[in-house]
Amino acid sequence: MPELKTVSLFFITALAEIVGCYLPYLWLREGKSIWLLVPAAISLAAFAWLLSLHPAAAGRVYAAYGGVYVCMAILWLWAVDGIRPSVWDLLGSGVALLGMAIIMFAPRGT
C-alpha cells in the first residue's frame, strides 16, 4: 500500500516539524531551558530529511504535505495544548487532507 506509506511518512514528517518549532517556542515564550534548541534542531533536520524520502516531485510533495501539517497541528492543539478542536477545525483538517490526497494520488499521465 504505497498510499498508506506516503500518508504515514507525511504524519511523521509533520510531527518532526511541529516538535522542532514547539521546543524553541517553549524557550522563547515559556522561559524553558535554552538546551531545548538542541533537540529542536535535530527535529527540524529530521523533518527536512523525511520530506526528501518521497519519490514524487519536490513541489508536489511540499504542497501535499501542507494538508497533513494542518491536520497534525489540530491534533497537537488537542493532545498537547489541551484545547478540543471545534467542528470547523475538524472540517478544515478534513478538507486539507482531501487536498493532499488529490495532489498525491490523482492519476497522472505518463
Task: Give the separation between CA 77 and CA 14, rounded to whole angstroms.
Answer: 13
Q: What's the grid cell of residue 22?
A: 514547539
46 contacts 90 by C-beta, under 8 angstroms: no
Q: How many CB atoms lie within 10 A of CB 67?
A: 23
Could you tell me the end-to-end alpha-carbon distance of the chain, in angstroms, rounded to an integer? Answer: 21
For every one of its 110 residues, what pLDDT tens digit does the chain have, with 9 covering 90 and above?
A: 788 888 899 999 999 999 999 999 999 999 999 999 999 999 999 999 999 998 888 888 889 999 999 999 999 999 999 999 999 999 999 999 999 999 989 998 76
Task: Name the residue ranges covered by the structural domains of the chain.
Answer: 2-105
| Cβ-proximal residues to 27 (8 Å cutoff; 6+ apart), any chain | 33, 34, 36, 37
Q: What is the pTM of this model?
A: 0.88
Crossing angle for the helix pair 87-105 and 2-30, to the nearest 10 degrees:
130
